[in-house]
Chain A
């Protein structure tokens, strides 16, 4: 510890308390970050990670406690920025209507002068190239036209970029949640390089492997407090999970014995006129794999929209959807948690098309317990939930319906490891009861849980893997074009 103390203190938050109404988001948390280190921050959904990030970057004033930058007591967003603190938020923080270059202009107020465009372009391109070598992002394209992963990359590149002075501390709140494994590895490598050059990074992630391999020090939060703060080497995955307050479960995952029984419940001809056709059978768990942005989401959307009238309410719901990009197409921000949860099941909750509040509340309570939505009251606004908890609500929304088929578009983004394990169990038991799940995921661990996997490449299905064949190696092999091999 002593040698760490000698280093410069970039940011220090001490005894910070933040409350939102009755919720104690932070309850006396301490977090000190020194120059030249990467601090990993982990904790369950709603532990207070994003809140402490907001305190450090000046967006939130704590109700109690001190926050100092390089030893000085200062407040506010501009103070934080002046002290070299940059932040990559998990929700998209770019302006979707602007180009990549213009976004850089906004993030870097010191890009002045007549020729700021070329300056900004050079800056972004240099950093994109440095962090994600081999990327194919055009600095003049509008952010709207980029995939989620590309947006995330742009945001990261802009944050690490510095015009005159480099950033001292870059905070990354779940930066890899929409990146595929390759990009995530590139980012982690860059973080190590940045740290070795004297910068510091605060890394938040629910993917513990990343945290363990990249951080120098790991801070564990629980219920608004820091419960552990030790060098990374002193943790293993197991001890880390335990420090977060979860029990590590053995991965005893029994695949459904027989797949493809009976008539397919869902099918789709080969996409873009080539590749394999898609078929799903009752009780199956089907994974959609491949590199990010190769048409998996589009396939899910097609499957969904084909079977869902836009004009008439469907009498019996046969298909439900769990969105991954929750702020874009998942949550209804003006509504309470309960209304967000029940919106897809209104038919079964009502008599004569009038919603029965009692039945709705019962449904809400049962799902709140079942997947542990952390909130004192289901009538609170959905936005008062932490990101991971919002995602759980979206899950509950789909599972609460009577649909036989559930489509999931990378639904575990930002869900903590304990919850994930619970959700996996729920999925498994629902599948055993005859529900079919079609699951697009960017995480290899999740893909490996599926009964059958379709690997996507350039918009079409290129490979079908069944049972034991579902391995990282096989998936990666199918994900990269045979053009390279041939």
Chain B
């Protein structure tokens, strides 16, 4: 197998290549001194995008129009409620986690009920849902920042052999997601549904059940990410998920998952998450103003896509 063929088959290779290049350029600024610190920071923050990205990827795999815009609101609600419930007590960590997962399950169910019962495009159903969730978050504790339990805060901010714990969690989840996607029946089903919902139905795939599970999975991952992020940053804020709306979509598509559905890949999410964090760091490091920073970020994304593109697997 020639290297060229290898690249053809792996759309995610480009996001990793870009990541390495950007990393090198950034580290060069300090003559290499920043390499460890930068890598650690990148892994930490990439971890959060990876967790929401995986959920979003499952949803996007379901085919055109499938996208979950309620991710940021779910993160916020899960973060606020879990922290409020735990109320700085170490003994409540597990309860908080379960509450988060419960919130994810409910949100996912709500999303799919809207999509199914009202036959509205997922993009709009989840957008509407996100407004409602946001209101619940506001109503439940009015934006007050409650601190996470000490133990949980320590866990999310420390590392194991230099690798941040959150990155380890994200890695574990990625492996699980990979197995689910590549090896399980469920993975085949979502891919089939993404290519043709009707054909999937005629191949006796329980289409609605599978889609429901997928939306729930996405919301649970978002909730989990909210739980971790709130603990990591020392408290939940009402706007803490807003960045992850575009980010969760961007890491999926830049990572090489087909936007038209049916074809997805997990390594790409890591590549894209690291890449997006490092691009901003690089431009910050070199002291670009906000305007140029935005323009360059955009251009770099397009260049990476141009290099990687032109494959059918990308569509």
Contact = CB atoms under 8 A, between A and B. Distances in A.
Interface of A: 304-305, 308-314, 317, 319-321, 323, 328-335, 339, 343-344, 346-347, 350, 353-355, 397, 401
Contact of B263 (A309, A334, A354): A334
14 contacts: A312-B206, A313-B185, A321-B203, A328-B198, A329-B198, A329-B202, A332-B196, A334-B191, A334-B263, A343-B203, A344-B204, A350-B185, A355-B183, A401-B204
Contacts of A320: 204
A304 B212 CA distance: 22
Contact of B206 (A313, A321, A334, A355): A313
A321 B202 contact: yes
B184 interface: yes
Closest 9 CB pairs of A and B: A311-B209, A310-B208, A332-B195, A329-B198, A344-B203, A346-B185, A334-B262, A321-B202, A329-B199
Given A310-B206, A312-B206, A329-B199, A334 B258 contact: yes
B204 A329 contact: no
Given A333-B195, A355-B188, A311 B204 contact: no
Contacts of B186: 353
Nearest to A398: B203
A320 B203 CA distance: 7
A222 B258 CA distance: 38
B191 A335 contact: yes
Contacts, number: 83
B24 interface: no
B192 A353 contact: no
A380 to B, nearest CB: 14
A339 B184 CA distance: 13
A343 B199 CA distance: 11
B201 interface: yes
Contacts of B313: 334
Interface string B192-218: 100110111111111111001000000
Given A328-B198, A329-B199, A317 B204 contact: yes
Nearest to B315: A334
Contact of B209 (A313, A350, A353, A354): A313
A328 B198 CA distance: 8
A339 B188 contact: yes
A343 B203 CA distance: 7
A312 B209 contact: yes
B198 A353 contact: no
Contact of B185 (A305, A312, A314, A353): A353
Given A308-B204, A310-B206, A334-B262, A343 B188 contact: yes
B200 to A, nearest CB: 8
B191 A311 contact: no
Contacts of B207: 310
Interface in B67-121: none
A68 to B, nearest CB: 32
